[in-house]
Structure 1
Amino acid sequence: MNQLLRFTTAGSVDDGKSTLIGRLLFDSKSIFEDQLEAVEASSAKKGYDYVDLSMLTDGLKSEREQGITIDVAYRYFATPKRKFIIADTPGHIQYTRNMVTGASTANLALILIDARKGLVEQTYRHSYIASLLKIPHVIVCVNKMDLVDYKEEVFEQIVEAYKAFSSKLEVSDIQFVPISALAGDNVVNRSEAMSWYQGATLLHMLESVHIESDHNHIDSRFPVQYVIRPQSKEYHDFRGYAGRVAGGIFRKGDDVLIQPSGFTSRIKSITLGNEVIDEAFAPMSVTITLEDEIDISRGDVISKPNNHPQPVQDIDVMLCWMNQRETQLGSKFHVRHTTKEVRGVLKEIQYKLDINTLQRVEQVDRLTMNEIARVRIRTAQPLSIDSYRKNRITGSIILVDEATNETVAAGMIV
């Protein structure tokens, strides 16, 4: 079974993110001939003397006209070793929310740095967001090496500067690679111009990064999505609970605790499709049956009696506000957490983060679009939560506007 790696790209405007993805798709032979012909024709029409591979990912007309990325573009490709989903996220400050969206499910972040410019404001901001969203792996691509004559000292200076800055972040695995996305150096094929670089190519890093341990396999969590009652002759008394394992491992015969009711039971069977299996772990979607008849509905969480999430009503969250309309203290929302939806109110804004300097701004009573702040939300009913650091699924929430049903914010539980 080919493993799936989700990764996001981040970097300042014009650092070459879209060109890099185009190069990955082109050199790994993951695009169709008609796509390539269309891009070649567009490049010739614009008067370029090279094929502009960034057009493979910039889907919006306004993106191609300005040569920038505005929306999150998802691209899929596969090699014999792995399948990949790329979230190409925008670099501009006014699209912070798009970056948060693209990065929320990623295993890895590719951070691009222009070799001529070194670390810029966007580098710090994107690295901080990657660390805030607990992306476990980061690859720093020093791009446009062809424009600095492939000099080793330029690469080494950027590596040192980034290491000094990243020591403040919570990212455990950082790798560095010098590339030229335009010329294809060290992206899929090794560069002949940089014989001083002995490390792996970018594609090799993407294929070999270890992601098996990214899921939390210690704390067992199973949010119930749907109760299955077939009511057929064959399955007359069947009552199963369908959902996706959010953490840990569940085995047949395990003692379990159901929240919020607090009842305990034991796992009778686990099925995956039509197949009965002995154990289930994240991120499998399965149906669990229990030995006792307990009233369980959508939004309840099945966990272990000696290790379960804490039901709380006052939740501290790092929140990214995504709506054009600003919000203020006392605003009411629907709070969605795993499969449960409850009503909530914004009780306090503890501080807002200046995303460029990483300084805290205190005494704030409102949030505007793309701002990130630490807030406290009070919910009408308790939610069974973990911290986002412990589990990215049970540790995240979204806020939905009651009137318009728009998703207005995403939050990481502190």
Structure 2
Amino acid sequence: MAVVTSGFFGMISGSAVANVASTGSFTIPLMKRQGYSKRFAGAVTAVGSTGGQIMPPIMGAAAFVLADVAGVGYKTVAVAAFIPAVMYYLTLFKMVDLESVKLGIKAIPPEEVPELKGTFTQSIKLIVPLGVLLVLLLGFNSTPMMAAIWSILSIIVLGFFDSKDRMNLEKIINGFVATTRSMPQVVAACACSGIVTGVFALTGLGLKLSHFIVNLGGNNILLSLILAMLICIVLGMGLPTTASYIICATAIAPALIQIGVPSLAAHLFLLYFASISAITPPVAVASYAAASIADENAMKVGWTAVKLGIAGFILPFTFAINPDYLHIGLDITTFITMISAIVVSMAAAILIQGYIEKKATIIERIICAVVIVLAIQSGLIQSLAGWVLFGVMYFFRRYQAKKEERSEKEVVN
């Protein structure tokens, strides 16, 4: 639930640090109380918060800038980003699950869980405006500004019907004040990014950087992508995602497009690393924020966040080389891609955590690495081979675990 909370809030806030500070103040202490280490609890919140900016249907503010820069509709961006974002969170979910199995962590006592009906009734005024925003953006292709205006109006109207927390003039004014205070952060980021963009354009530095990537990478698209990743992470250190993306799009996007990466895939590649720089040491701003709440060393939280967010480093290469991961439709390609996405996410989690039902062997981790290489490709034969190999390994281990559990019960009886 800490991952879900961070993801939902991150979509709206567009700031990994603000997300960590808002949700982490109660999710991190809860995770620590349940038995997770301080390092792990902080890292989960940092990674979940960072991923909200790449998770459709809302994504962060940078996604709207991306749609404008890439010259495509926001709906196109949201649809293309769906499968990679699901893979990101599915990998994180599985890693948290494996950690809980490893540590033997139990569920929260039922008496501490809030009543679903009361919680849903209290939250409906927050759910409906979100629906209004998505319907206008995706269903009616409305402009982001118009969709936001109608969404704000809906939350004000619904607030008057909430008897426990009724909307009034004071709350409306406070809402406008809070919004006005948060706007300078975005305005300042865009203004500073504009200055940097202007410097890149006037001095020719952006063009030189693009030529550097193309010339150093040569005809090797993987090497060029690795260079682009490193430059993007360095440029994005300490910057808000929107500012980081604008700088990277100006300096690096032309080079990626020149070496054959589709335009949308190139811009999403940069958006991912502009976002993921928030958990990448040494300047991992989201990890630092989480570490302060968890009362843990920031670098320990940062490196654990890199481990848990490994999907965020792999996925951009995946869809840059295999654009099928940016395609959704009622066809066999989408079906194969989605199955492969699930298999790759599960295999990556097991490979990194080194745990299935019990500690994974070296051979099992090697099999997971082979499965990732096979299933992540576009060919049906390779994907099928990856599915079968993972299925045999995973279900054989589950069968072994159940067999050992029955044997232990028989010994006890």
For normalisation by structure 1, the TM-score amounts to 0.25
For normalisation by structure 2, the TM-score amounts to 0.25
Bigger CA radius of gyration: 1
Ranked by relative contact order (alpha carbons within 8 Å, sequence separation 6 or more), the top structure is: 2
Please state which structure has a larger fraction of its residues in helix.
2
